[in-house]
Each structure stands twice: as C-alpha cells, then as structure tokens.
Amino acid sequence: MRLDRLITLFAAQSRSQAKEVLKAGRVSINGAVQRSGDARVQAGDLIALDGQPLDARCIRHVMLNKPAGVLTAARDRRQQTVLDLLPPAYAACGCMPVGRLDKDTEGLLLMTTDGELAHHLLSPKRHVWKCYLATVDGPLTALDAQAFEQGLELSDFTALPARMEICSSGPSCAVARVWVREGKFHQIKRMFAARGRTVTALKRLSFGPLALDETLSPGSFRELSGAEVNLLIRAAAGETEP
C-alpha cells in the first residue's frame, strides 16, 4: 500500500492533510523519515506519525450495535450501510459483516476480516445459536413456544427446532426471546407469521457466546478482545447450547 493512502485510512487524514504531514517530515517507516507518498509500505513495517505508531492492523474483529434503518451491506449508493458506521480503514482491510440483519432489525452485528471464521459461524452444521428479542402484535402462549421447539413448517423449508421464551404477553402485544441456529431470510419474522403474529420490533441480543455490549449506543462499535475472538473460534468449531 502507498504511504499516503495508509495515512489517509489509518490516521483519519484527508489526502491534502496526508501530503502536508509527509512534507513536514512527520511520518516515518521503521524509524526513517519519509516525505514521499509514493513510498510502499510492506507487511510488518512500523509506521509512525509524530513519533506515535499507527494502528494499521489488517486483522479486525468488531462488535457493532446496529441501529434500525441501516443496511447490512458493504456499500449502497442510496442508503447508509453498516460499513458507513466504521472508519474507512475497516473497509480497506476487508472487514465484512458476519451474516446480515434486516434493515429494520437492530442489535449485535459481528464484523470481521476473517472470512473462514465468518463462514463457520454461519454454517448451519456448526449450530451457533443467536438470541433475539422480538415484539409482536398480539398475545403468545405456551402452544407457540411448543411449535417453535418442534420446528415450524414454512412455505419453502422447515425451520430447525428453536427456543422461544415469553417475557410478557397481553391482548395486543407480546415480547419474547427467541434462540435460533440458522439464519434464513426473514426467518424469525416468518416463524411468528406462521403462528399468526407480526413482528413489530426485533433486536439481536447475542451471537454464539457473545452478548451485545450494553455500553454501546446504537451505531457504536468496539473491537473484540482476544478472549472474545477465542470464544468465537471455539463456537465455530462445534455446537453450543443457547
């Protein structure tokens, strides 16, 4: 990668600002001052701005609290995407969503540069459970929970047995936690629809062993710790229970 490009991405500088800091001799590669943006940066090089190392890691694992109204996509010409919520450096490293949340669904979205890990976490054979909080437009009963546990027949497939725990239920509204281990298009909405209910709000609370960090406001993110990444790797290797 060109040095000026790296500074733009990882130091949150504009192109003109990157040229200025280079011209001023404020950037170094492995201790040697560099004034040309044409210089090539190799893997393992230590880049510093004003003597402070830049975090130019190309391996990233992120937890995002996705807000409603944002697309789970890399880019879109007309609508905001989850990549727009992260600094440009993440997209430059190839950080991508692990699966997707519907536009109107909020909550925990994992993003990573590790495509193999993402693939394993999403594979139905790995049985990585995801937990959601769903609000529906009518009452729920023990019969609904039993139907989820047995596996619901939908128009084009049979949903795997899931778990549904009713948090509250009234004549016009109910709230439930739902655990699923697959991620078909609109799956939870369709499962409730099969029981005569419409989902009015949906939030993902957990993905495998990781729960949404409640300190993250909608639209905010943080990088996963090494321990959290290891938990995901273990979850991707085999079945975990909800």
Integer angstrom CA distances of residue 146 from 129, 140, 187, 199, 206: 18, 11, 17, 18, 22
Enter the CATH code of domain 129-207: 3.30.70.1560
Report which DSSP code applies to 22: H
Give the class (CATH, top level) of 61-124+209-236: alpha beta
Which of the residues are catalytic?
A: 102
- All CATH 3.30.70.580 domain ranges of the chain, comma separated, are 61-124+209-236
The predicted structure's pLDDT at residue 30:
93
pTM: 0.83
Q: Where in the chain is the domain with CATH 3.30.70.1560?
A: 129-207
pLDDT, tens only, 61-116: 999 999 999 999 988 989 999 999 999 888 888 899 999 999 999 999 999 999 99
Structural contact between residues 221 and 65, judged by C-beta atoms closer than 8 angstroms: yes
More confident residue, 14 or 199: 199
Q: Which residues pair with 29 in a beta bridge?
A: 32, 47
CATH architecture, domain defined by 3-53: Roll (3.10)
C-alpha 20/C-alpha 24 separation (Å) is: 6
Reply yes or no on whether the pLDDT at 228 is more than 90: yes
DSSP string, 74-106: S--SSS-BGGGGS-HHHHHTT-EESS---TT-E
> Average pLDDT for residues 3-28, to the nearest whole number?
88
